Structure 1
């Protein structure tokens, strides 16, 4: 019976408006963090594809040969030097995007860690903020 009373008291934790705001903020940060991580994967894949394309172009083509280069939905012919320059500028843009996404993911993770600490301190085992295993 004493165990029942202890469990009842543990489950009767009062949730204030500020607590609910922290829970909501954690949920928003967690969702954004997932979105940022997914976008980061796509950008890193694009960067790898650019590197592979550049390597392939340098190995298989003569320096005076023109290569098709995709701009939007259209291919245009560029010299190998022009294509390398365009790939280089795209690579720089992707690296900047990846850096910004990593910074954003880190900021979100820091915010979530702080909120987790606050919420676990108040609610203990009555709240679960850990990611689900897939």
Structure 2
């Protein structure tokens, strides 16, 4: 009976590599988005104001708020969902990864400029989406 209970506890405490890796990427992206969002709000982080010429913004404050709302909050929320191992966690990882990629595409379209972090962040969004799908398959769940 003890062996059966220990086996069950081991399975319940086992977190697949996809979950841990997804959690790490979510936390990394969220931390960078919080840092970047606050930095943009406070002082523009040294970003050239002329980059805003083709945008509806006259300062970096609103883009900083958007970074916090569109990227940081969903990434933090997804990290909590993934940490808790909720049934919808793999799908959440997939969706926030796609949102992150969309965010970068929107930046490129609005700014008309590239910054060295954009391909890195887009790649991390792709990694999140792939990990969400891989974890879902591991669980035997269906993804949208």
Q: Could you say which TM-score interval applies, normalised by the shorter chain? A: 0.3 to 0.5
TM-score by length of 1: 0.40
Q: Which has the higher helix share?
A: 2
TM-score by length of 2: 0.38
Higher RCO by CA contacts (8 Å cutoff, separation 6 or greater) = 1
Larger radius of gyration: 1
Q: Which has the higher strand share?
A: 1
